[in-house]
Amino acid sequence: MKYVARKILCPGLIVLLLSLIFVFMASAEPADTDLDEDLTPVANESITSESAIVIDFTTGLVIYELNADEQRVPASMIKAVAVYVIFDAIRDGMVNLDSSIEISNATSAFSYVSAFSNVPMPPGSVYTLKELLDIILVRSASAAIISAGEGIFGSEDTLVLKMNEKLQQLGITGKVYDSWGGSPNNRISAKGIAELTRAFINDYPEILELTSQTSVIFDEEEYRTTNSLIRSYYGADGFKTGFTRPAGWCFTGTAQRDGRRIITVTMGSERGFRFPDTVYLLDHGFEHYNFTIANHIRNSVLLSVKEQNIQKTPLIPLMMYNIYEAEYINIRDLAVILNETEKID
């Protein structure tokens, strides 16, 4: 059920529209545009990212990192925090996916500013929350996330407040000033985005049903996903793109192969390279997965065996080969195995 008749914008809304353009044009330009980028990984085993990280979903272990703790502008990747908060509201019974949300005049005016990764929404039109989430996650529609915040929490300001509370709840350092990623003052690290994405998927695995869509129909128009990897990288099923001038080209990606899920974040990639950078990061994650797990065991469990007087010898997964098809082995036997494999002649 939706009202789709277009209305002529009143002079007050035109002033608001021009104000928005003036305020944000200095810091943003077409965000999350689908460039059909070449997905060939960059040469010489390098990436253009200014900040990046690769983590294992199941354990949270870091497989690779580059300036991963540096606080940076996340652009539209911050929408993932807003959607996480909305899923919490669904869990708490405040709304459901079929709940109707009416588009305010001011937010409608903003939705016609295509420079900010928007999809037009006529004033007074009504959409279900599911329709808004689809266009937010697939096309990164900025006004749609504002409308969702207004419909659920009464205002975008309240949504932003809850976004900051979510970061604090997860122990993630960062600060959010808007829900859609246009503010150059938003700050979070690649590590923080990766941790948030891991927690989001863990709490609400159904989010991947939305982020894995290659396109959606909204107001009888088809919109393709801004995530080019969904169509081209085996196992890719999310997560969120982003771009503004202060942020550079950004992307949080995730893929699952043979029961293993990897999460990657690239921030500040060069134009045309956020997806090639991500391909390299994902490939690196899957290739070095078992080594990372084994190294984690060596640094934690093995040291405990060597340095402490352990009377009992509990069984633990033999994760140095495959955590998802784990055999169980005595912890002291594992220490011997690791010692043997660590020898360098």
Give the model confidence (pLDDT) of 35-50 as tens digits.
Answer: 444 444 444 458 899 9
pLDDT digits (tens, 9 = 90+) for 163-218: 999 999 999 999 999 999 988 999 999 999 999 999 999 999 999 999 999 999 99
Among 248, 264, 287, identify where a domain stops: 287
Give the chain's radius of gyration (CA, Å). Answer: 22
Q: Are residues 63 and 108 in the same domain?
A: yes
pLDDT digits (tens, 9 = 90+) for 230-265: 988 999 999 999 988 899 999 999 999 888 899 999
Question: Is residue 234 within 8 Å of 256, Cβ to Cβ?
Answer: no
CA–CA gap between residue 68 and residue 29 (Å, rounded): 25
Q: Point out the least confidently predicted range of 64-73, 114-123, 196-205.
A: 114-123
81 φ/ψ angles, rounded to the nearest 5 degrees: -65, -45
pLDDT at 287: 83
- Give me the amino acid identity at 123: P
Among 287, 312, 331, identify where a domain stops: 287
Q: What is the mean pLDDT of residues 85-104?
A: 95
The vertex-132 CA angle with 137 and 197, nearest 5°, equals 30
Among 242, 264, 287, identify where a domain stops: 287
> What is the torsional sign of CA 205, 211, 217, 219?
positive
CA–CA gap between residue 8 and residue 160 (Å, rounded): 30
Q: Is residue 7 part of a domain?
A: no
CA–CA gap between residue 9 and residue 25 (Å, rounded): 21
Q: Are residues 76 and 156 in the same domain?
A: yes
Q: Taking 60 as the threshold, does the pLDDT of residue 334 lie above it?
A: no
Q: Are residues 156 and 196 in the same domain?
A: yes
pLDDT digits (tens, 9 = 90+) for 13-34: 443 444 444 444 444 444 555 4
Domain of residue 112: give its range: 46-287
- CATH number of the domain that residue 124 is part of: 3.40.710.10
The upper half-sphere exposure of residue 300, i.e. CA atoms within 13 Å in the direction of its Cβ, equals 9
Q: What is the mean pLDDT of residues 146-157?
A: 94
Q: Are residues 276 and 233 in the same domain?
A: yes
Nearest of 209, 144, 207 to residue 181 by alpha carbon: 144
Q: Is residue 32 part of a domain?
A: no
Q: Is residue 171 part of a domain?
A: yes
Q: Are residues 108 and 165 in the same domain?
A: yes
How many domains is the chain partitioned into structurally?
A: 2
* Residue 44: both structure tokens together: 């010489």
CA–CA gap between residue 321 and residue 329 (Å, rounded): 12
Q: Are residues 86 and 173 in the same domain?
A: yes
Q: Is residue 253 part of a domain?
A: yes
pLDDT digits (tens, 9 = 90+) for 98-112: 999 999 999 998 888
Q: Taking 50 as the threshold, does the pLDDT of residue 96 lie above it?
A: yes
